[in-house]
Structure 1
């Protein structure tokens, strides 16, 4: 019995590597937001240390069930105060390295979940 669709009918992350991801055949070398609702946009943050509550508040626009925060090449958490706006809206937040967040996004989006991936892609000198 087949449980998975033959193809995903939403944006998917097609490939990734250290310092980049590919969505829709386009390679991105800077931070992006990918949403199962179809939104793909630049995420104006070049370094983990620059993250603010506003960076996370803008992720609520698609009313996701969960936000996957890809923290760069390694797992790094942000202060809970930066996530407060999402948590108060009842939106789950999971933090993982960017490559794990990309893989997890594809799985959840493929299941039809309302998911947003905020993928921090830092310049080589920023890590």
Structure 2
């Protein structure tokens, strides 16, 4: 069987994430960040998904997503309802999951060419 290396056609490749860090391209990030297929916003100020406010999503909304993924660390933790309502009011889907699950989901959706933006909370 012949194996071919396929490189993504976008610039921000998320290789994986957990509750303590993430690997984007060849860089290990140890603080919260926002990622879209062609954009990386480092040092996102969110450190606790449970304490988020709607304005925390502004960095994600600026990237014009059709879907927002929120990685909440090592454990799934839902943000306050006002945060989820901010997505719904804009007609943007939102999924909340662990960082590891969000990284896998992001990679699949970005590979499909979807307008996905993910925020990863790393305390």
Structure 1: 5+ residue stretches without partners: 123-127
Does the residue aligned with 2:62 lie in a helix, a strand or coil?
helix
State the partner residue of 2:83: 82
Cα RMSD after superposing both structures:
1.6
Asked if the contact 1:56–1:83 (Cα under 8 Å) also holds between the matched residues in 2, the reply is no
TM-score by length of 2: 0.87
TM-score by length of 1: 0.84
Structure 2: 5+ residue stretches without partners: none
**Paired residues, what number?**
117
After the TM superposition, which segments of 4 or more aligned residues of structure 1 sit over 6 Å from their partners?
none
Shift of 1:78: 1.1
- 1:52 pairs with 2:71: no
Counterpart mapping for 1:1-127 below 5 A: 6-10=6-10, 11-36=12-37, 38-42=38-42, 43-122=44-123
Shift of 1:17: 3.6
| CA displacement 1:25-57 (0-9 Å, x = unmatched) | 110011000012x11012111223432111123
